[in-house]
Amino acid sequence: MNTVTLFTNLLARYNALAYTHHYILGFAYKGNIYMAHVEEQMLGHFLCLDKASRGAGYAVRFCPNNDIKVALLPKAELICSLKYFNEVVEESIYNKGEIFEKMVTERYGQEWEKDNIPFTDDGDLTVDGIAYQIKFQKATFITEKSLERFERLANRG
């Protein structure tokens, strides 16, 4: 299977299992941190296929290059400066993705709590009845190995 077909296949299988098809994607651009709302139809334009670690096959990741960041800017909102973001990350026990999720959640007036709810069961944040998955640049959406595990669980009914 060529990489384009593999990417399309993995993304379709991910979407078939996903609880929500609304996403908030975070990225750093020109010294600032932004968030952009993206729906399933456009999601594939902003993701890439990459090798997963630890023998998990391939991974679908949000790995925006400069062109993708520029394409996201019209639908993006400024969160904070990159300098402030990095300071918060350095002072925290959480990683960049978790700090970004916390900042977005608090932006919507909600209290953030770290959780491990699977993407098949809920989003990371619900606003006005819409659940969103939140991903920061370099985040993994799914690996082949994880996808196969979730598909087995879904087939058990």
| In a domain? residue 153 | no
Q: What is the pLDDT of residue 1?
A: 72
* Dihedral over Cα of 26, 29, 34, 38: its sign: negative
Range of the domain at 116: 3-148
Q: What is the pLDDT of residue 155?
A: 86
Residue 104's H or E segment, with its range, is helix 96-107
Two tokens, residue 53 = 């670690």
Please tell me the pTM assigned to this model. 0.94
| In a domain? residue 10 | yes
| In a domain? residue 155 | no
| In a domain? residue 157 | no
> Is pLDDT above 70 for 157?
no
| In a domain? residue 156 | no
Q: How confident is the model over 109-124, as pLDDT tens digits? A: 999 999 999 999 999 9
> Is pLDDT above 80 for 144?
yes
Average pLDDT over residues 89-112: 97
Angle value at C-alpha 38, between 32 and 42, nearest 5 degrees: 120
Q: What is the pLDDT of residue 2?
A: 86
Average pLDDT over residues 81-104: 98
Pairing of strands 32-39, 76-81: antiparallel
Domains in the chain: how many in total?
Answer: 1
Cα 126 to Cα 110: distance, rounded to the nearest angstrom: 9
| In a domain? residue 154 | no
